[in-house]
Amino acid sequence: MLLAIDSGNTNTVFAVFDDAGKRGEWRAATNVNTTADEMGVWLLQLLSLSGLRATDIRAVVIASVVPATVFNLRQLSHRYFRCAPMVVGDPDVDLGLGLLVDHPDEVGADRLINAISGHDTYGGPLIIVDFGTATTFDVVDGDGNYCGGAIAPGVNLSLEALHRASAQLPRVAVGRPRSVIGKATVPAMKSGIYLGYVGLIEGLVHRIVEEFGAPMRVIATGGLAPLFAEATEVINVVDPDLTLRGLLILHQRTLARRASAP
């Protein structure tokens, strides 16, 4: 079985795959101070509740946008699963896609994994919208090359900034408003955040397609993807497992390439 780890700015997701598909998925807050032993105790208990054992894990693949977490995730892999992890960004990990950007080393591991997964599943060209701590818009061409994109503040980040910077504005949960015109402070905030974000999505997708010069499918992923997809027609598919599946695809491809190497 494969343990796939997606370490993001806010949450770290652990998922186990076997030949039949995903066997389990668990989420923890990303904390650079969490030790390998703390993660190990927590994860082994969750594996046990799903009928899995540490010895079932034969390989680990890691993508992280928080470099400070990688050391402890490597230690977790060695100490509890007795294997050297495959880490996105390591020199020996070939992503199998072209990076048509000015500074390839600056592209987040999650964005590259999404590009691999998106093209493998849907072909191309694509726009992949990932609703995370930041909301990213990534462009993948018909050949599967990563072509860059756009980065906007995440929805919850925008809400928190609005609350902190304005003395009279409360902290509110993101949600679809009943009307555009709010008759009180909270409904007005919900309208501005939600419908303002819909406008951001539609505007950026329109401009990306116009600049790219060809029709593109739009794939959305991340926890808030379904909430926003219901309000706009520019999103064609919501795929919550895009990143985790990308880690599985990368691991399978890498093993195949290594096996066929002379």
Mean pLDDT on 134-140 = 97
Let me know whether 194 and 140 are in one domain.
yes
The pair of structure tokens assigned to 95 is 């992503």
Query: Amino acid letter at 201?
Result: I
Does residue 129 have a pLDDT over 90?
yes
Residue 51 maps to which CATH number? Answer: 3.30.420.40
**Active site residue ranges:** 110
Binding residues for ATP: 6-13, 133
Q: Verify that 135 and 235 share a domain, yes or no.
A: yes
Domain contains 254: no
**Residue 117 in domain:** yes
Do residues 224 and 123 share a domain?
A: yes
Question: Quick check: is 63 in a domain?
Answer: yes
Which residues does the annotation place in the binding site for substrate?
108-111, 185
Domain membership of residue 262 (yes or no) is no
If asked whether residues 220 and 119 sit together in one domain, one would say yes
Are the C-beta atoms of 241 and 220 separated by less than 8 Å? no
Q: Is residue 96 part of a domain?
A: no
* pLDDT tens-digit series, residues 70-89: 999 999 999 999 999 999 98
pLDDT in tens, 160-209: 888 788 877 888 888 899 999 999 988 998 899 999 999 999 999 999 99
Domain membership of residue 54 as a residue range: 2-87
- % of the chain exceeding 90 in pLDDT: 81
Residue 256 lies inside a defined structural domain of this protein: no
Residue 39 domain-assigned (yes or no): yes
Q: Are residues 231 and 113 in the same domain?
A: yes
Regarding whether 202 and 122 lie in a shared domain, the answer is yes
Q: Are 179 and 210 contained in the same domain?
A: yes
Same domain as 140, residue 71 = no
Q: Average pLDDT in the 241-248 region?
A: 96
A 10 A CB-CB count for 221 gives: 26
Residue pair 246/116 in contact (Cβ under 8 Å)? The answer is yes
Same-domain pairing of 67 and 23: yes
Are 26 and 116 part of one and the same domain? no
Place of tokens 């990688």: 70
What pLDDT does 256 receive? 83
When divided into structural domains, the chain yields a total of 2
Q: Is 102 helix (H, G, I), strand (E, B) or coil?
A: coil
pTM over the 0.95 mark: no
123 confidence band (pLDDT: 50, 70, 90):
very high
User: Which residue ranges make up the annotated binding site?
Assistant: 6-13, 108-111, 130, 133, 185
